[in-house]
Structure 1
Amino acid sequence: MTMALRAWTVCDPKAGTLTQSLGVARQFDPEPHRVLLDGWLPKWRRGLFSPYRRIEKPEPDLIVSCGSIAPRHVFAIAEACRKRPFLVHLQPYEGSGRDRYDLVFAGRHDLRRIENPPANYREMLGAPHQISAAMLKALRPAARARWAPSGGPVVTVLVGGPTKAYDYGEERIEALLSAIRGFSAEGRTVLASPSRRTPEALLDRLLSARDDGITVWDRTGDNPYKEFVAAADAFLVTRDSVTMPSEVATTGRPVFIFDLAAVPGEKFEEFEWFHRDLSETLGLTRPFEGRLYDYAYEAPDESRRIAGIIREEMAMQG
């Protein structure tokens, strides 16, 4: 029987950190209490000066945090609790008090750089998230009826934005638009979703490709992202994201990674290792080389797997 616990998430409001925290916390509590952070907690804000000295909501049994600014907040919350909550962080954390976390989950691409990781470290694949196979199965009939009413194959294209690792030059943008138009010409319905990081100029280029077979979300109204994922038979995902390929691999359907212009440096090397691992080691994705095709893999359910490790550790600690 699954333990029912009171879970809190502690992170900044960025979509990437929030969805990781919620994805794991909701394995224990369907509506975790969210502590959204707007900055670092100064060292002097302890004791009587702590913003968490009075916890009004029921105290947490479990705190799941993510992001570099979260730990000091988490420790302050834990100090204010009558019974110490179980503490989990979803990112490598090498700062002061790292042993105060019961578990720290580091991505395979991060963990490879850490010599002799601490005993509380565990490995995770990419980024945990809130997408599940059951959710997508339930959404799929209505999503296909809404976005691909004529039937036929659907390809969902997920577009990020420039990062410290990758850039969107004119040649890459044209290649992306050409791929989208090519899918439509083959008789596929194309559902394209920009992210919050997609620049307006790139969004405008995507919107210019719309036609009867190509739908591009213009970032107005409700975000159809989950419906686009549920409706898809295959995916094309830009290379600048860890979260997006992690989410869509939950479907077990083909995931192709669209290459971008390199920005040399540590971040580039980190992302390249991540994508090689997904493709060559784990067999979850394929590089996009101009065509889509079927292949099989065992779809991961990382949030649930991480939750299982947490439950085991909590049971061991009593």
Structure 2
Amino acid sequence: MGSRVQRIRALVWFVLWASGVVNPSTVLLGQEEELMSGFTGFHFLSIEKSCLFLLKEQASHPDVLEADAKQIAEMARQTFDTDGPLLVVASGRDTIPVSSAIKHLAPENVFVVQIQHPRSHLNRFDLVITPLHDYYPLTPEGQGQIPWFLRRWITPREPPGSNVVLTVGALHQADFTALRNAASAWHAELAPLPRPLLVVNIGGPARNCSYGVDLGKRLAAMLQNVLWSCGCVRISFSRRTPEKLSRILMKEFGTNPKVYIWDGEGCNPHMGHLACADAFVITADSVSMLSEACSTGKPVYVIGAEHCTWKFADFQNSLQERGVVRPFTGKEDMFKSWSYTPLNDTAEAASRVKMALAERGWSI
């Protein structure tokens, strides 16, 4: 293409890491889905099924190249003059070998964005998008928790460079447009409900946020205490919620007319809840659920933050310092709302990608 300003053609392939840092329910690949809400103007190849399904079932689609670095790099080189550079966006540490290989094989023909910290050799990518708490090991508090003989093995070992985009939380699709669409889609079911509507999202214990049934009992008691100030309560469990914990909530509220518990059947109301809730109570283990709720500007109460350790405790502290969450005490009056500046990580990260592309003489 004669001009230095070239249009970006985007190839998106996602292999989600099973650690839970990236929640498959929040990163969907579909014909009408964008990778991230802030990437307005990016063209994504049509993908009719999620990559998880494609990989598991070895399904094929004419627009999808399986994660073959040589094949993708060769395509980027062959089509560069006619279509411009190829934007490769990869998420999860399992994708690092492929995305870095693509950059190595076609450095002048691709722009590679890696989501989640790749641990080392960040110069393999054009941009790395990662949460600030991934750099907790470099803080004095983090260093104090690492035995000296292990420090050389803990990553990252260097401060973020110019090609690192730091976010507060996880990237997700719960932007203004998505929430507006969800509010419309769920209007018939959620709009008539008495207010305030309190949504309770329950995750499950994780390595750095471990808890048991005691948290379920405490949550049940606290919800009973605030129930008087709620028009209704809607509770959702995740796939990681232990059955023992969910049974506690089912037993306590299963017959309460003010409480609805989603049983996992039918359409997932998660986006509708984000759009229509007046306030949230969320377990501390889920960076994803907290990041989504904190992008709404509505009150977010956290239960179980005291169980978080290491960088996840740092994440909880950062949310509280920003005033976007408060501890759930069971003494709240849900009629009394409060506000904050919503997190806007996805749009801000997308803006940084566009700026980096512009520095290369490319545009969207």
User: TM-score scaled to structure 1, two decimals?
Assistant: 0.82
How far the C-alpha of 1:202 sits from its partner, in A, is 2.2
| Alignment equivalent of 1:309, drawn from 352, 356, 362 | 352
> Is 1:219 aligned with 2:219?
no
Instruction: Quickly say closer, same or farther: Cα 1:242–1:233, change in 2 above 3 A.
Output: same
**What's 2:328 paired with?**
288
Q: Can you list the C-alpha shifts for 1:63-119, whole angstroms capped at 9, x where unaligned?
A: 222222111021344466696321111222233x53120011221111243443333
How far the C-alpha of 1:182 sits from its partner, in A, is 3.5
> Is 1:274 aligned with 2:288?
no
> Is 1:23 aligned with 2:40?
no
Give the AA of the match of 2:189: R
How far the C-alpha of 1:58 sits from its partner, in A, is 7.4
Q: Which has the higher Rg, Structure 1 or Structure 2?
A: 2
**What's 2:71 paired with?**
54
**What's 1:47 paired with?**
none
1:95-134 matches, within 5 Å, as 95=120, 97-114=121-138, 115-134=158-177
Q: Can you list the C-alpha shifts for 1:250-298, whole angstroms capped at 9, x where unaligned?
A: 21111111126637xxxx1211111111111x11111112214422211
RMSD over equivalenced CA pairs, Å: 3.1
How far the C-alpha of 1:227 sits from its partner, in A, is 0.9
Instruction: Quickly say closer, same or farther: Cα 1:65–1:123, change in 2 above 3 A.
Output: same
How far the C-alpha of 1:144 sits from its partner, in A, is 4.9
**What's 1:235 paired with?**
280
Mean CA deviation greater in 211-220 or 122-131 = 211-220
**1:63 and 1:74 in contact (8 A); partners too:** yes
| Alignment equivalent of 1:65, drawn from 90, 104, 119 | 90
Figure out how many residues of one structure are paired with residues of the other and give that number.
Answer: 300
Give the AA of the match of 1:279: Q
Give the AA of the match of 1:226: M
Output the CA distance in 2 between the equivalents of 1:183 and 1:32.
46
Output the CA distance in 1 between the equivalents of 2:68 and 2:74.
14
**What's 1:259 paired with?**
304
**What's 1:44 paired with?**
none
Output the CA distance in 2 between the equivalents of 1:82 and 1:278.
38
How far the C-alpha of 1:35 sits from its partner, in A, is 4.8
**1:88 and 1:102 in contact (8 A); partners too:** yes
User: TM-score scaled to structure 2, two decimals?
Assistant: 0.72
Give the AA of the match of 1:111: Y
How far the C-alpha of 1:220 sits from its partner, in A, is 1.9
Instruction: Quickly say closer, same or farther: Cα 1:66–1:250, change in 2 above 3 A.
Output: same
Q: Which has the higher contact order (CA 8 A, sep 6+)?
A: 2
